[in-house]
């Protein structure tokens, strides 16, 4: 297999891009070797700059549910481009997609569009804080919610421990409001709430996490979180950037029959285009 063009591009990229890539996950360091530079994709296949063909098993990290360059998606993108790319004003299309999302996702009564899943999760936490008047939130060990400062926090030695920054540039001031709990452990959630009574605005999790490996929720776990959050006035947020429109039309919340207060969505709603959304109950 020839990979000379990819090697040349990677060497050149390192002169202008930190590490030669625009996301650490693309650097190949965890698996060895150097990244391949992709030229095009079609259906279930990727083609690199040297003309090699590969079976695509990642679907661009999830959004390409219909495969790459699907004819209907491609036609819709081209049709939209004919009218221009950005207006800084409302459009009929955003009303149409908002109505469609509300009709499909059980928890969403109103929705706001953003540019990425990261923006969706950051915004959802901000809304939860504004709604409750509280500052802290709970996230689960190993769950990924984008690269917002508040989410780049590693767990301490136990559920009672405040988070410590997991990435340079994240301040301890930011980290102190992020509380960490192990997934599938309701007792740890109760301990955190007891230690931070009346201070927790939100609890966010991937209902079915994928970045830590596929881990299914234990029977009764999601409903247990729903019951606790309802009791304590905590906003329950399902990050369905990965699970939305995949596990079911309405995501994991449809499959498990548990309705969160808010839901975050990612690029899948735009056929892989840079878009995201967050929504929830009207109030």
Residue of 136, 139, 144, 177 marked catalytic: 144
Residue in 149, 218, 213, 146 with CA at minimum distance from that of residue 188: 218
Alpha carbon distances (Å) from 211 to 30, 32, 48, 203, 242: 14, 19, 25, 18, 9
The answer to whether residue 166 is catalytic is no
Tally of CB atoms within 10 A around 105: 26
Radius of gyration of the chain (CA): 20
Residue of 48, 261, 267, 278 marked catalytic: 267
Q: Are 211 and 237 in contact (CB under 8 A)?
A: no
Rounded to an integer, what distance in angstroms lies between the CA atom of residue 177 and that of residue 191? Answer: 16
Residue of 136, 239, 261, 278 marked catalytic: 239
The answer to whether residue 48 is catalytic is no
Encoded tokens for 232: 């304590």
The answer to whether residue 267 is catalytic is yes
Name the residues annotated as catalytic.
Answer: 144, 239, 267
């Amino acid at each position: 297999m020839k990979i000379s063009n990819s090697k040349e591009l990677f060497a050149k990229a390192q002169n202008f891009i930190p590490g030669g890539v625009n996301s650490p996950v693309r650097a190949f360091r965890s698996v060895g070797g150097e990244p391949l530079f992709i030229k095009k994709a079609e259906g279930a296949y990727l083609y690199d700059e040297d003309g090699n063909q590969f079976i695509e098993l990642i679907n661009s990290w999830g959004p390409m549910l219909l495969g790459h360059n699907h004819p209907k998606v491609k036609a819709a993108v081209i049709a939209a481009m004919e009218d221009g790319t950005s207006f800084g004003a409302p459009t009929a299309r955003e009303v149409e997609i908002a109505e469609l999302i509300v009709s499909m996702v059980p928890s969403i009564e109103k929705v706001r569009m953003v540019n990425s899943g990261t923006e969706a999760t950051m915004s959802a936490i901000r809304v939860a804080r504004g709604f409750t008047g509280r500052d802290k939130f709970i996230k689960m060990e190993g769950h990924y919610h984008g690269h917002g400062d508040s989410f780049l926090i590693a767990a301490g030695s136990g559920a009672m421990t405040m988070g410590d920054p997991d990435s340079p540039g994240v301040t301890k001031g930011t980290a102190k409001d992020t509380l960490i709990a192990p997934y599938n452990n309701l007792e740890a959630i109760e301990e955190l709430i007891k230690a931070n009574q009346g201070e927790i605005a939100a609890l966010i999790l991937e209902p079915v996490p994928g970045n830590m490996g596929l881990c299914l929720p234990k029977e009764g776990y999601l409903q247990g979180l729903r019951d606790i959050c309802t009791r304590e006035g905590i906003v329950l947020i399902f990050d369905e950037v990965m699970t939305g429109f995949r596990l079911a039309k309405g995501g994991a919340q449809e499959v498990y029959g548990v309705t969160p207060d808010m839901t975050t969505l990612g690029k899948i709603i735009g056929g892989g285009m840079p878009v995201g959304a967050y929504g929830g109950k009207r109030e």
